[in-house]
Structures are given as structure tokens and as C-alpha cells.
Amino acid sequence: MYRVVFVCTGNTCRSPLAGVALRGALGAEADRVDVTSGGTAAWEGQPASEPSVTVAARDGFDLRSHRSRRVTPEWLRAADLVVVMERSHLAGVLSLGADPERTHVISEWPEPGAPDLTVYDPYGDSLEAYEETWHRIRTHVARIAPHVLEALRTRSA
């Protein structure tokens, strides 16, 4: 099983959205990938924010059962790929034991990335801000998914 961990701050907006976006982008191969999300400062057990649930549902994704979790060193060490939402999360996950070779900022990987298309935290902002965040996450995940699929093919060979 290939393991991907998405990390944001509270695990109620960006990282759960990235998780469902990746599962969707992987299609039939999604069952071969363990996609987890967590927050560097998450309060355990919080539901996904209502605007996140709304924007995901418009594209057929269900976040209603999501509950926030704080990212753990165990998840990070076991991950094949750790994707953080912004540079400020990078130091936090590296200090918890994430492998620097397998840890990337969503807008910067795979290179050359789209560093001008940052994924800021929409928490508490308008529905339009969530829509823009969702659009940016889906754009980045579309670049990431082929690399995950290639890693799966490599493992199967």
C-alpha cells in the first residue's frame, strides 16, 4: 500500500479536501493508496468545515464523515509521500520525523510546480474563498496524481 499524508493546520479544510481530490484523481487505483490527512495544530474530532463540505459535494465528494486529527510522527515516518499546504507546515512535519526527500509543499511539487498558486487557509472566510482553495487544490492534485500512479506501477513491477 502506498501511503500519502496531506497536512494543513486544523485538518478541517485544506488537507481533507486534498485527500478526497487525490482519491478521485487516482480513479480505479485509489484502493491501492492509503490517503490520510492531519493538522499540525488540529483539535481532535472536529468535522470538516461546512464550506469545505459544500464545495467538495458540488463535485461529488463527501466530507461529512471527516473528523480532524493531529498529524503524528508515526504517520509521517510511514508515509511514502507527505504533502503540506504551505511552507510554514514544512518545518513542523520535518521536526516530527517526516523524510525530507518525500515531503513537499503542494504548490512546489512536482517541480517546477506552480509556486504562484499557493493554497492559503480559507477557514472563516467566504464560500468564494473556499471555492478558490478547492480549485487550487484540485489543480495541484492533478499534477501530483500521475506521480503517485507511477510509484504504484514501479512497486508492481
What is the β-pairing status of strands 2-8 and 81-84?
parallel
CATH class of 2-156: alpha beta
32 among known catalytic residues:
no
From 34, 121, 125, 143, the catalytic residue: 121
Sign, Cα dihedral of 80, 145, 95, 71: negative
Active-site residue (options: 8, 13, 23, 138):
8
DSSP result, 94-114:
HHTT--GGGEEETTT-STT--
The structural domains of the chain, with segments of one domain joined by +, span 2-156
d(C-alpha 62, C-alpha 92), whole Å: 28
What are the Cα distances from residue 3, in Å, to 31, 36, 49, 56, 130?
Answer: 11, 8, 25, 22, 26
Q: Quick: pLDDT tens for 38-81.
A: 999 999 999 999 999 999 999 999 999 999 999 999 999 999 99
Q: Which residue shows C-alpha cell 497536512?
A: 7
The predicted structure's pLDDT at residue 122: 97
- Each residue of 99-108: pLDDT tens digit? 999 999 999 9
Q: Please check the confidence at residue 156 and state whether its pLDDT lies above 80.
A: no
Is 8 among the catalytic positions?
yes
Query: Residue 147: which H helix or E strand, with range?
Result: helix 127-156
Contacts (Cβ under 8 Å, ≥6 apart) of 79: 3, 4, 5, 36, 98, 99, 102
Please say if 13 is a catalytic residue: no
Q: Are 112 and 77 in contact (CB under 8 A)?
A: no
Burial of 131 (0-12, 13-18, 19+ CB in 10 A): middle
What single DSSP character describes residue 22? H
Position with higher pLDDT, 65 vs 157: 65
Residue 27 has pLDDT above 80, yes or no: yes
The residue from 14, 23, 69, 136 that is catalytic is 14
Give me the pLDDT at residue 112, please.
Answer: 92
